[in-house]
Structure 1
């Protein structure tokens, strides 16, 4: 049976609206989704604004990479601790505290930029603050959504949040581009602060029982951390999926963080071109997220992840050889589709395979790789871009990512048998 035939078969169950309706009938999930939508739009406004501001200040690939690494270092060092915290304490309270800090960071960026006091070093420092906040909050945030819905709606809830994330990826950069063009970059940071305020209000309204490991407080943080890491990497199928995520994150996904350089130096398209590039990736990701939401099944996700990483590697390789702006935008749309498939699919498989008492710690390992990997890769590729230009490092990275999935491909069916059996509905 061909891949296309399989995609329209029962195995991939393209249309299942009932689970979407069920998810939104849950008060906490509906409230959180609404508030999170505003916050994510603000986050993407700020992300593009920070990327463009550092490029405007320095016109340097190394500084673009430095901004990425400012987020990566806290993720690398603190996200595992954040996973332990998410399993020990009330995840809702953790999310509330983190959003307050994120709002204060955005307000600081607004004030410093408005008064002309911002410098590359200050921008990197404040990005580091944002990285610390995200690192301590990410495990709680991704597991909080799963705690809001029953198990049979887990895949749907994760995919719905992926849709929200990727719609924000279009609206946010487009809004940021307009703001930068009509006013100045400082107002992008102010709008982000307002968006965080909306999510803070929603988090204060939400009421849900605490979900913590009743035994975990009797042990040290180090013991808890080791338990989560050991479970992750001694579980053969989980480890294989995470290795695939690692190669994709380190060698193909850094393209996202280097898009300001491609828009500015390779295509000479300015902030409007950067907004188009980022929005194209978001559009592709939205289509993928809608598909994954409507299919609402665990069964078949392993195939989707493997083929998604492979297609993304090929697409990024072609992008690195492309010199036409609109062709490049289309390729980024394809890349966005495949990355949403692999990211959402991987998170769903991992969360469905782990007991809730370990979920924060295991997800923290995935977050270190899935979120920190692109930042580290962007730093290395940004440094290489200073010597070889932006195209060659991305081209080589795409080939390495493709090679990684080819090596593990023979184990695909074995991985699917283990990870998809827990919930085939």
Structure 2
């Protein structure tokens, strides 16, 4: 019988979840607006892939460093600082867009700045949640946080579609900038449980980084979960970053079609997250691998799908399976990791999960420019299925 308790019984966590959800709505409004604006400015699958890559590449390049900082610095103050800088960056992007001073190159620069800020905040955010609740509420808290993320993915694109159609992308960028204020506000008032780490004997940052790497990759279960996360990100979420091209070039639906597709992914992810929030006695690495194989098959189906309604159904199912891979892996990792290295291990997960999406979107975008979008997506799905099968045989 599951010993999981709902994190919603914690007023501290509920306060955090409320502010975080409002901020996440802004994030998804931004992501849809950014992808659409990149396509609008360039009409190039390659540039769409590059802009998508800027959102996640910093997590790959600087992720371990961000993780060390998350374990060394005060997480509350760090979160407030990063979110304040993110708000300023988004308002600047919105103002420059409204003034007509943005081209595809400057868009890449400002989205890269935001990618650095998001990459720095990722291990801080993942380390904060376990320190807001009791241990028996941890699984519920991680799953509910992910539900909020994906519920925002469901609602945010719909809001983005309305904002873009009625007021333009500049307004969508500014709305995201304002949304950071909600998270800043709750971070000021929530109580974060002190870490168990002793300040005595602190090592050089490089040594701490290497200690975190050795811990993560010598732990067989954590290492396996990181590999699964990498495959899901590169092959699954990398293909989903091409949804702007599917919406406009394949199905000729424009920004409204993109909002529907992105919302369908979010709806599926919410279903997967809710399933995980009700208990994880059934959750194992094997189950996550089955979900990943299914995701690869669904990516192939997306590449061959001839009509928009079918594509909506496929990406909704992709939302479920990729959610089981991503949230499930994070739940198992957070339940295994020691608190004193939580920031560093979280940074490796973020580096792989978000950086894999960056790499995947760049590879799919490049392949689509060389061949065509459907062929590139079919190849990504096939690689996902094959790599999952091979990694499973290696472990057996």
Asked if Structure 1 and Structure 2 have the same fold, meaning a TM-score greater than 0.5 normalized by the shorter chain, the answer is yes
TM-score range, shorter chain: over 0.9
In 1, Cα distance between equivalents of 2:192 and 2:16: 12
Contact 1:298 1:349 in 2 (8 A): no
Query: What displacement does 1:211 show?
Result: 2.2
Which residue is equivalent to 1:34? Answer: 18
Query: What displacement does 1:217 show?
Result: 6.3
Alignment of 1:162-201 (within 5 A): 162-201=146-185
In 2, Cα distance between equivalents of 1:411 and 1:169: 35
Query: What displacement does 1:63 show?
Result: 0.6
Runs of 4+ deviating beyond 4 Å: none
In 2, Cα distance between equivalents of 1:247 and 1:196: 31
**Is the aligned partner of 1:330 residue 2:313?**
yes
Which residue is equivalent to 1:56? Answer: 40
| Aligned residue pair count | 396
Query: What displacement does 1:215 show?
Result: 4.6
Which residue is equivalent to 1:91? Answer: 75
In 2, Cα distance between equivalents of 1:329 and 1:222: 46
Contact 1:80 1:368 in 2 (8 A): yes
**Is the aligned partner of 1:125 residue 2:105?**
no
Contact 1:91 1:210 in 2 (8 A): no
Which residue is equivalent to 1:385? Answer: 368
Which residue is equivalent to 2:56? Answer: 72
Contact 1:252 1:394 in 2 (8 A): no
Spell out, residue by residue over 1:97-156, the C-alpha distance to the aligned partner (whole angstroms, 9 max, x if none).
Answer: 111011111101110111111111111111111111112111110110011111111111
Spell out, residue by residue over 1:31-89, the C-alpha distance to the aligned partner (whole angstroms, 9 max, x if none).
Answer: 11000010000000010000001100110011111112212331112111111111112
Which residue is equivalent to 2:328? Answer: 345
Contact 1:106 1:192 in 2 (8 A): yes
In 1, Cα distance between equivalents of 2:345 and 2:281: 19
Structure 1: gaps spanning 5 or more residues = 1-9, 415-425
Which residue is equivalent to 2:387? Answer: 404
Residues 275, 216 of structure 1: CA spacing in aligned structure 2 closer, same or farther, 3 A cutoff? farther
SS of corresponding position for 1:218:
coil
SS of corresponding position for 1:268:
coil
Spell out, residue by residue over 1:256-304, the C-alpha distance to the aligned partner (whole angstroms, 9 max, x if none).
Answer: 211111111111110000001000111111111111111x235423233
**Is the aligned partner of 1:43 residue 2:27?**
yes
Contact 1:39 1:199 in 2 (8 A): yes
In 2, Cα distance between equivalents of 1:290 and 1:244: 21
Contact 1:68 1:376 in 2 (8 A): no
Which residue is equivalent to 1:258? Answer: 242
Contact 1:259 1:274 in 2 (8 A): yes
Contact 1:314 1:398 in 2 (8 A): yes
TM-score by length of 1: 0.90
Query: What displacement does 1:378 show?
Result: 0.6
Query: What displacement does 1:25 show?
Result: 2.5
In 1, Cα distance between equivalents of 2:229 and 2:9: 33
Query: What displacement does 1:326 show?
Result: 0.4
In 1, Cα distance between equivalents of 2:103 and 2:212: 39
Residues 280, 38 of structure 1: CA spacing in aligned structure 2 closer, same or farther, 3 A cutoff? same
Which residue is equivalent to 2:344? Answer: 361
Which residue is equivalent to 1:394? Answer: 377
In 2, Cα distance between equivalents of 1:304 and 1:83: 28
In 2, Cα distance between equivalents of 1:363 and 1:116: 39
In 2, Cα distance between equivalents of 1:114 and 1:314: 42
TM-score by length of 2: 0.96
Q: How large is the Cα RMSD of the aligned pairs?
A: 1.7
In 1, Cα distance between equivalents of 2:285 and 2:248: 37
In 2, Cα distance between equivalents of 1:279 and 1:209: 35
In 2, Cα distance between equivalents of 1:134 and 1:164: 17
Query: What displacement does 1:348 show?
Result: 0.7
Among 273, 276, 282, the alignment partner of 2:260 is 276
Contact 1:87 1:211 in 2 (8 A): no
Spell out, residue by residue over 1:194-219, the C-alpha distance to the aligned partner (whole angstroms, 9 max, x if none).
Answer: 21111111111123344263257621
Query: What displacement does 1:19 show?
Result: 2.2
Residues 352, 209 of structure 1: CA spacing in aligned structure 2 closer, same or farther, 3 A cutoff? closer
